[in-house]
């Protein structure tokens, strides 16, 4: 039995293509992995605070010197990291906002990319501490960006996940969604076909 952690980051609840892709992915996954457990964290419904001095204090100060706010920030980071540590499979649903990921997803990453916990620095450079995990990234894009210089989404997420030791990453892009009905239908159809292959 595997454990899935699903991170939703679309600002929209209704009409969100990335959320539709998540539903499709999970339906297919449950059909072939009925015993797996699934945890869903919705960053639109429950946003994670952006990285700030309070969180840094929770990370860096000795426990006896932390304020109540810093202790709470550290506890939140620990909770998010524990969810990730417990998961065998990570699913990130990420619409493209202004060529990159939603700020809520960046905030989540800032909480879980933590020195000494999910990665460490060595004489040979940084080393990821999360091994043996897989990740699927489901994206929704108004234009067509794959393989172009304007795609700051996939390269960044690949680097961030690899930094903590997650190298087995599959991207599924629904592209051209704002380029008219024909492009939108084609982009969504191609994404769903790819979902059926991997899930």
pLDDT for residue 67: 96
pLDDT for residue 8: 98
CA distance 37 to 39: 7
- Pairing between strand 89-95 and 168-174? unpaired
pLDDT for residue 198: 83
Structure tokens at 170: 């599959």
Q: What angle do CA 118, 164, 192 make, to 5 degrees?
A: 125
pLDDT for residue 44: 96
CA distance 129 to 163: 9
In DSSP terms, 39 is beta-bridged to: 5
pLDDT for residue 137: 98
Cβ-Cβ contacts under 8 Å for 62 (sequence gap 6 or more): none
For residue 135, what are the CA distances in angstroms to 84, 140, 160, 163? 11, 17, 12, 13
Structure tokens at 112: 């879980």
SS3 label, residue 142: coil
Domains and CATH numbers, the chain: 3-198 (3.40.50.360)
CA distance 191 to 185: 10
pLDDT by residue for the chain (199 residues), tens digit each? 899 999 999 999 999 999 999 999 999 999 999 889 999 999 999 999 999 999 999 999 999 999 999 999 999 999 999 999 999 999 999 999 999 999 999 999 999 999 999 999 999 999 999 999 999 999 999 999 999 999 999 999 999 999 999 999 999 999 989 898 998 989 888 999 888 888 7
């Amino acid at each position: 039995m595997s454990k899935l952690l699903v991170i939703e980051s679309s600002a929209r609840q209704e009409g969100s293509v990335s959320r539709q892709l998540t539903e499709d992915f999970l339906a297919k996954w449950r059909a072939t992995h009925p015993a797996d457990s699934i945890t869903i964290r919705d960053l639109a419904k429950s946003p994670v605070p952006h990285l700030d001095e309070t969180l840094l204090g929770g990370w860096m100060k000795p426990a006896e010197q932390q304020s109540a706010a810093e202790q709470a920030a550290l506890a939140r980071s620990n909770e998010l990291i524990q969810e990730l540590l417990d998961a065998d499979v990570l699913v990130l649903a990420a619409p493209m906002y202004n060529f990159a990921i939603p700020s809520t997803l960046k905030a989540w990453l800032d909480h879980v990319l933590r020195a000494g916990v999910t990665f460490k620095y060595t004489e040979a450079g940084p080393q990821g501490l999360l091994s043996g995990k897989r990740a699927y990234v489901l994206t929704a894009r108004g234009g067509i960006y794959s393989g172009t210089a304007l795609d700051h989404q996939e390269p960044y997420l690949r680097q961030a996940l690899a930094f903590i030791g997650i190298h087995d990453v599959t991207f599924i892009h629904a592209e051209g969604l704002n380029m008219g009905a024909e492009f939108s239908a084609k982009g969504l159809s191609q994404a769903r076909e790819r979902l059926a292959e991997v899930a």
